[in-house]
Amino acid sequence: MLDIKNAVKVFEQGTMIEHTALDHLSLHLDDGDFVTIVGSNGAGKSTLFNAICGSFFLNEGSIHLDGVNITLMPEHKRALHIGRVFQDPMRGTAPNMTIEENLSLAHSRSTARALSFAPSKKERALFRDRLAEFGMQLEDRMKTKVGLLSGGQRQVVTLLMCTIVTPKLLLLDEHTAALDPATAKKVMEITEKIVRDSHLTTMMITHNMSAALTTGTRTLMMDKGRILFDISGGERSKMTMDTLLKMYSNSTNEVFDNDRMLFENAK
């Protein structure tokens, strides 16, 4: 489904501050894999997502999605097949448009007609049904401007926008990190429901180590642009957060350092 071979990305090449953000990284995902990704700050997690989405081209290596070589495909073309949710609830939706207009815009990608933010009657019914599944009463607020919603509500609308047309791949970049713990939990439950119901192949970056080991089917630990550990099956079900952190420090001779994780533990 996703095949990344020997991906290399060097930033600021040829300058004093040249650094390698992806270092000969290879990764294979099967259909329906739900992979969580952890790693210290600057490990290259978001850069990996940017590479998959085509925010830049790789210096070396290749990316195939569903058998198609997308290594040199422009970002806007990949966006038709890849859904992405960011940490910042302000990204991903248009604040001055209503919930139904945002969803309509996302849904019109699937149809032959031009991009449209005026929903048909049928579309409106579909959006209402889908929103009602989440138990946030958003189905009663379809004409509310998205800018007036809370962060958690906006993330749910973004999630639905990204998945209303089933993507080949869903990328979640710490999409609950800016939310309070109760809202984060609710958005995670909704995420898992969407992934399960649509059988989505999903990659989720998180700073929450215990969520990384209990959500999805496989956990990647990244470090310095490489995949340090790839844990699944029985090994994963037995793995604790402490063991994972010990494995990290034994392998790198460094203490795991992610500011958002430390912040989370201090709360």
Residues in contact with ligand ATP by the rule CB under 6 A? 11-12, 19, 21, 39, 41-47, 258
- Percent helix, strand, coil in the chain, to 5, is 40, 25, 35
Q: Cβ contacts of residue 136 below 8 Å, gap of 6+?
A: 152, 153, 156, 186, 190
Indicate the residue among 149 and 211 with the shorter CB distance to ligand ATP: 211
Q: Give the one residue of 46, 104, 191, 206 binding Mg ion; rule: CB under 5 A.
A: 46
| Closest separation in Å from C-beta 16 to ligand ATP | 13
Distance CA 63, CA 73 (A): 10
Residue number, 7 or 146, with CB nearest to ligand ATP = 7
Per partner kind, with CB cut-offs from 5 to 8 A, the member of ligand ATP, Mg ion, none near residue 21 is ligand ATP
Min dist CB 50 to ligand ATP, Å, is 7
**CB contact at 8 A, 5 and 61:** yes
Shortest Cβ distance from residue 93 to ligand ATP (Å)? 21
Distance of CA 171 to the CA centre of its chain: 3
Q: Which does 229 bind (CB under 5 to 8 A by kind): Mg ion, ligand ATP, none?
A: none
Indicate the DSSP class of residue 167: P
For the residues of 172-189, what is the DSSP string, one character each? EESTTTTS-HHHHHHHHH
> What, of ligand ATP, Mg ion, none, does residue 44 touch, CB below 5 to 8 Å by kind?
ligand ATP
238 CB-side CA count, 13 A: 3
The one of Mg ion, ligand ATP, none whose footprint includes residue 42, by CB under 5 to 8 A per kind, is ligand ATP
Question: Which residue, 47 or 163, has its beta carbon nearer to ligand ATP?
Answer: 47
User: 42 or 151: whose CB is closer to ligand ATP?
Assistant: 42
Stretch that binds Mg ion, among 39-47, 145-153, 181-189, 240-248 (CB under 5 A): 39-47
d(CA 157, CA 138): 9
- The binder of 158, among Mg ion, ligand ATP, none, by C-beta within 5 to 8 A per type, is none
**Can you tell me whether residue 37 is helix, strand or coil?**
strand
Quote the tokens at residue 90.
């302000």
The one-letter amino acid at 152: G
When the beta carbons of 46 and 219 are compared against Mg ion, the nearer one is 46
Q: Which is nearer to ligand ATP, 106 or 261 (CB)?
A: 261
